[in-house]
Every structure is written in structure tokens, then in C-alpha cells.
Chains A and B, each alone.
Chain A
Amino acid sequence: MANRYSGISSDGLWHNNIGFVQLLGLCPLLAVSSTVVNALGLGLATMFVLVASNLSVSLIRNLVRQEIRIPAFMLIIASFVTAIDLAMNAWLYDLHKVLGIFIPLIVTNCAILGRAEAFASRTSVDRAVLDGMMMGLGFTLVLLLLGGMREVIGQGTLLANAHLMFGSMAEGWTITLIDDYRGFLLAILPPGAFLGLGLLIAVKNIIDDKLAKPVTIVVGEVVEQH
């Protein structure tokens, strides 16, 4: 486990990315990533919950007893999720309607309890908060990448419905990349999410392979041949 700040950051963004490597929180990741705006909405909400829960868990880490730590963590996470669900309903009403059940379901995103238990409960507040931020950011970036991919292939646009999140000033933000595009349904439906994530993970693995130092294997000489 990385302890330095840079290590925490690179873990969250790349080496131990929630979406690519830990493969946690797949249910919201796959369900909501049909457009960039949906992806951003869920990503930011998840990031907020991760930071807040990591912060609280780290603060109380010496107080909470071993036997009740999981229920206590769940209580904290559920409270934050309910709070952000209410807040989004109040101030981002239309986006909240689109994301629907996936905001309350952040509670069941194993990544959040996972970070609380495996990291935040064993480390200082600053490191826990940074970890929450970086893990959340990593998750958001995967969501955005997958959302962008599916939106472009599925409906030929980017940033459609941006006004749901940014208000009326974003009405004209939609970028139509392909005019008169008939749409590619597969990308928008759930199978497209699986295929898209699979491809992205494959690309990440290729990059990792390229970056890894070449290993030289010394093989014994062939002594005798028939």
C-alpha cells in the first residue's frame, strides 16, 4: 500500500483504479455511463461521498471498536448518500430524475466501504481525504471515458443534455459530431456498456504492458537434439 501522496494519487487514478482494476461499483458504472453528462453527475456524487466518508472514518478511527466498525462505516456512508440524494433532488432536479435510483444506490458501491475499511480506517485524515479524492476522480474519469465513448457511438453527440447539470447556459453545449446520425443502439444499451468497459480495460492493460520493464529470461542451452 502506497503511503506517500504521489503513491496515493497514482493508485487512485491508475494502478488501483476503482473502475479499471478493482472493478468495483460496476452496477452504476455500467448503467449510468450512456452519456457524458450522466456520467459526470454520478461520478461527482460518488466522489463527494468517498471524500466525506473517508474523512469521517479517518477521524473516528481510534474511537470505533473493532466489532462495530462495519455497521458504523455503513451508517456514515448511508447518511452522506441520503444527504447528497436530497441535495441533488433539490438543486439538480432534472439530472436527479435521469440518474434516478443510482444516486441512492451509491450506498451499495463496494468501493466506498472498501476504501473506508481498507484505507481510511488505518491512516491519517489528510491521506484518507486525498485517497477519497483520487479514487473518486479515477472513478469519474472512467465514467466519463465510457460515457463519452457510448454517447459518440450511440447517438453521435457529446455533452447532450448538459443543461440538466449546468443550467440554461449550457443549452448550446451539445456537440454534434456526426450529422444526421441514425444512432447505434448497441452502444446505448447495457451490452454496449460491458463491451466498452472491456475494451477500455484491454487498452489499459496494453499500456501497462508497454510501460513494464522488459524481463529477460535466460533459457538453458539445447544440449542435444534428436
Chain B
Amino acid sequence: MLVTHMLRTALLLGLFAIIGAGMVALTFKYTEQPIADSERKALLRSLHALVPPASHDNDLFSDVLTVQNSEYLGTDKPVRIYRARKQGQPVAAVIETVTPDGYGGNIFLLVAVRYDAMLLGVRVSKHKETPGLGDAIEAERSDWIAGFEGKSLTNPASSGWRVKKDGGEFDQFTGATITPRAVVKAVFRALQFYQVQGDSLFVEDK
């Protein structure tokens, strides 16, 4: 009697689990494609803000190199490098890089470097910096991040790749020095990485 009761109850709960899982599976099936599309569109939007669509004729998504370099790119996980080409000639590379030195943990950056090693621009793709202070690194909140455009390893010289408080050329924010300091350092490291790697970043997949 007790066993039958327990068995029935268990079966009933199992039934609910199956219905619930079925519902989730169904939703997943119908949202999988839209989610992938949205992610792609959002990433493409930030990539095109850095590398103008007119300057290249290849598909940034399929021309991707995956690299791993904890010394220069701030993470021991593999990151992606999107490569822009026009008629087969390299135009620019967008490097995904991370800095662990943020005030609120990792700051994820997209660093776009033109083929001649000049910075096309930098965007923050994800961060947890203090709202109202450190979040001025977002392009929507201040134009601070635009200050990287046109810079390179020689402009300014390496001693200038610091925030002003540390004797460099980049502004810090009132009340938030740690965040811009981390970003400046990460961009500098990404440029160094680009220089060290050179043309090997543009090798086409065989």
C-alpha cells in the first residue's frame, strides 16, 4: 500500500519533470536561432563601429583566428581575433582582450588595430565597474574611449601609455583611476601583442 503510494507520487513528479523539460526544450528550439542572430548582430555592430564596413569586403565572422596568450591578452582562455581584408589584403585586426585589473573584476575589450599598427579604436564589451564612476569607459557614457583612436606604440612613446596621474598621456576620471589605468594597460599590451605577432595574425586558414 505504502509502496504503491510512493511509486505513484514519484511517477507523478516524473511526469511534471518531463512536461517542464519538454516546455523548455521547445522554447529552446524556437529561440536558438534568434538568439544566435541577436548575438551576431550585436557583435557585428561593435565591430563595425571600429572597422567601418566600407573598408573591408570579407565576412568578419568567418575570418577569425583563435589565439591564447595570457602574457599579452590578460587571460589564459583562448580569445578571438577578427580579421578585416579588402581584396585579400589585410586591413585591420580586432583583438578580443581582457584585463583582470578592473575595479570590479574583468573588463572585456575589443581593440581594433589597423594593418600599419595604428589603433582604429577600442570598445568595452563587458565590465562590472562602478556605475557613475568607472563606467565612463563605455562609449555611450563618455568619449574617453575615443582618445585611443589614432594612437600606436610610438604615439605616444611607451612611457606615455599611462594615465596622467602616473605620468602618462591618458586622462583618468575623477574618483576612478583604477579603471582607466587597467584599460590603458590592456590596450598597450594588445598593441605589443600585435607587434610581436606581426603578419602571422593574418595567415589564412588552410
Contact = CB atoms under 8 A, between A and B. Distances in A.
B38 A65 contact: no
A91 B20 CA distance: 22
B42 interface: yes
A90 B35 contact: yes
Given A68-B13, A75-B16, A79-B20, A90 B34 contact: yes
Contacts of A65: 8-9, 12
B132 interface: yes
A89 B16 contact: no
A87 interface: yes
Contact of B27 (A63, A72, A75, A86): A86
Contacts, number: 67
B24 to A, nearest CB: 5
A89 B9 contact: no
B39 interface: yes
A185 B133 CA distance: 8
B132 A89 contact: no
A68 B24 contact: no
B49 interface: no
A63 B38 contact: no
A82 B27 contact: yes
Contacts of B27: 82-83, 86-87
**A-side binding surface: helix, strand, loop or mixed?**
helix
**B-side binding surface: helix, strand, loop or mixed?**
helix
A58 interface: no
Interface residues of B, number: 24
B17 interface: yes
A164 B71 CA distance: 37
Nearest to B36: A90
Nearest to A84: B27
Given A93-B42, A188-B131, A63 B12 contact: yes
Given A68-B12, A72-B16, A89 B38 contact: yes
A34 B132 CA distance: 12
Interface in B31-74: 31, 34-35, 38-39, 41-42
A65 B34 CA distance: 39
B20 A75 contact: yes
Contacts of A110: none
A71 B20 CA distance: 12
Interface of A: 34, 63-65, 67-68, 71-72, 75-76, 78-80, 82-83, 86-87, 89-91, 93-94, 97, 154-155, 183, 185, 188-189
